[in-house]
Chains A and B, each alone.
Chain A
Amino acid sequence: MPSGVIPSPKTGRELVDEYFIENRTRLLEIAAYLDRLDRTDPSLIDHDYRVRAFRDALRLLDSGDETQTRVERIQQLLSDPTTEPLEKLDVKSARGAYDRWQLGVG
């Protein structure tokens, strides 16, 4: 992980003391979201690219290194990797993940 050019005024221990509870909350929210999806339709991962991308992104939470942070890896996973412009406008708004598997949202 890059050290940065403005040092954190807080130590690692202080960051944990200050922010652990709210990030624990976020972690449980994600877990509950996945449980909710499983409860309603456990096969979503096979036919909704957003769910598959989300699951793949979770695996990257443990993968930060010196060249790329966790956030950057997840953003790249969710991004359109193509370089050519679209010939014409398809939809007005982005959906949050790129369908690299051509799964659609069936």
Chain B
Amino acid sequence: MRYIDLHAHMVSRSTDDYVKMALTGCVAVTEPAFWAGWDRSSADGFEDYFRHLTDFEPKRAAVYGIRHFAWLCLNPKEGEDRVLAREVLRRIPRYLESPTVLGIGEIGLNRVTRNEIATFRDHVDLAIEHDQLIHIHTPHLEDKYKGTRTIVDILTEYDRIDPSRVMIDHAEEHTLPMILENGFWTGLTLYPQTKVSPERAIDMFERYGTDRICVASACDWGPSLPDAVPHFALAMRRRGHAADLIDRIIYHNPIAFLGQSPKFDVGVDSSRRNGAEKALPRSESDAKSSAGVAAA
């Protein structure tokens, strides 16, 4: 089995988690910038976080043969502070040049306030200006429907957004149709409590098919599983689904979305992204990085 975890907050996870992911077939992760569980005190704090995401974490992942990519933003939980948001957004563009940054994310909404919406729009404008992929967080629990509706309505106002370059993540049964109907990609987050179980995710694939839908762990500092994707694959097998269908969902679908960035590479020939692929080599440079991290 091989898979790509499209949403994993590895800065919050231990090296044992990288081992677990590598042993279960993970070849790449993408890590959206998010809330640390507490509000950062300054734009400098965000800048340190961006350096962590673009420099240290790819090296740490490489130790385990896993490619690490990132998305940058000021997350929705801190989007209420407009002064801070403007300063952080001013600093983001130079990090977009990093070879492992795929786009802007995870932007979105938390409680759906006017300031959060303004900060969300600023991020969308930034992504358009720099021709970046967009990764979007939708709110939790009772706020999810209203937040997703608001996000979809805002995005469809833009005539310069290609919905196939936008992932609206954390979909559930009541929000998935509106996302797909408007041409966006979506993600099902395999969380133990507040999002979607493997069984419900499978139900949604059976109802809506596999086009433009990915699964991810979104593992972070809260109750979450770094090996949620292989648990999903196991649940798929238990439900009787074929190996090629599972492979399409957990490997080829992420490649189809992420591969729209020329930076995304897991060793698959771009002309053969929907077919067979080359083995993922562990490069000499990765090995050197590994030594550096291990020594630290």
- Show the binding face of A for B, using Cβ within 8 Å: 2, 4-10, 14, 18, 69, 71-72, 75-76, 78-83, 85-98
Contacts and interface: CB of A to CB of B under 8 A. Distances in A.
B278 interface: no
Interface in B84-117: 110-117
Contacts of A81: 146
* Interface size classification for chain B: 35 or more
21 contacts: A5-B209, A7-B206, A9-B242, A10-B239, A69-B173, A78-B142, A79-B144, A79-B174, A80-B142, A82-B146, A85-B114, A86-B113, A86-B114, A88-B113, A88-B115, A92-B110, A94-B140, A94-B143, A95-B141, A96-B141, A96-B142
Interface of B: 77, 80, 110-117, 139-146, 149-150, 172-174, 194, 200, 205-210, 238-242, 245
A97 B141 CA distance: 7
A81 to B, nearest CB: 8
Main secondary structure of the interface of B (DSSP, over half): helix
B107 to A, nearest CB: 16
A64 B242 CA distance: 28
B181 to A, nearest CB: 15
A87 B114 contact: yes
Given A88-B80, A88-B115, A75 B173 contact: yes
B146 A79 contact: yes
A97 B142 contact: yes
Contact of A75 (B117, B145, B240): B145
Nearest to A10: B240
A96 B193 CA distance: 11
Given A4-B207, A71-B173, A79-B145, A9 B140 contact: no
A11 B145 CA distance: 32
Given A6-B210, A69-B173, A72-B173, A98 B142 contact: yes
Contacts of B210: 6
B206 A6 contact: yes
Contacts of B146: 79-83
A79 B172 CA distance: 12
A89 B114 CA distance: 9
Contacts of A90: 111
Contact of B139 (A89, A91, A94, A96): A94
A76 B172 CA distance: 11
Given A80-B146, A85-B117, 9 more contacts: A4-B206, A5-B208, A6-B205, A6-B210, A82-B146, A83-B149, A85-B113, A87-B114, A88-B113
B224 to A, nearest CB: 16
Given A76-B145, A85-B150, A8 B239 contact: yes
Residue from A7, A14, A98 whose CB has the most chain B CB atoms within 10 Å: A98
A87 B113 contact: yes
A8 B206 contact: yes
A83 B144 CA distance: 12
Nearest to A79: B145
Contacts of B80: 88-89
A69 B204 CA distance: 11
A91 B113 contact: no
Contacts of B172: 75
